[in-house]
Amino acid sequence: MKIIGQALLGAAMFHILYFLSSLAVGYVKTVTYRPNFSSAWENTGNLQSTVSFGTVTSPVFYIGTFLATALVCGLMLIAYKKLTSLPCRTETEGRQQPKR
């Protein structure tokens, strides 16, 4: 159960980082946006009458990515634990120690 909890925590951390980076990019784009008023004034026929703020993704997609990320994190944790539990071979293991 410990690995499952760690995998879920890892998936949550990845998703939080994803959402925070998306918010940061949007904030920077909003702050640094400088409209070109002269160009917009000359081309009044091309102005839009509606505003769209990004896209909407289904919550099922986020649940699927969360579970897939948790699975990958769990597999990485299992592989890490198996690799660190292997006995280490040293140079002196193959040689016989002199008797005293």
pLDDT tens by residue, 11-26: 999 999 999 999 999 9
Q: What single string gives the DSSP state of each residue in 54-77? A: S----HHHHHHHHHHHHHHHHHHH
Predicted pLDDT of residue 46: 61
- DSSP category for residue 22: H
70: burial class by Cβ within 10 Å (0-12, 13-18, 19+)? buried
- DSSP category for residue 98: P
pLDDT tens by residue, 26-84: 999 999 998 877 776 776 666 667 777 778 889 999 999 999 999 999 999 999 999 99
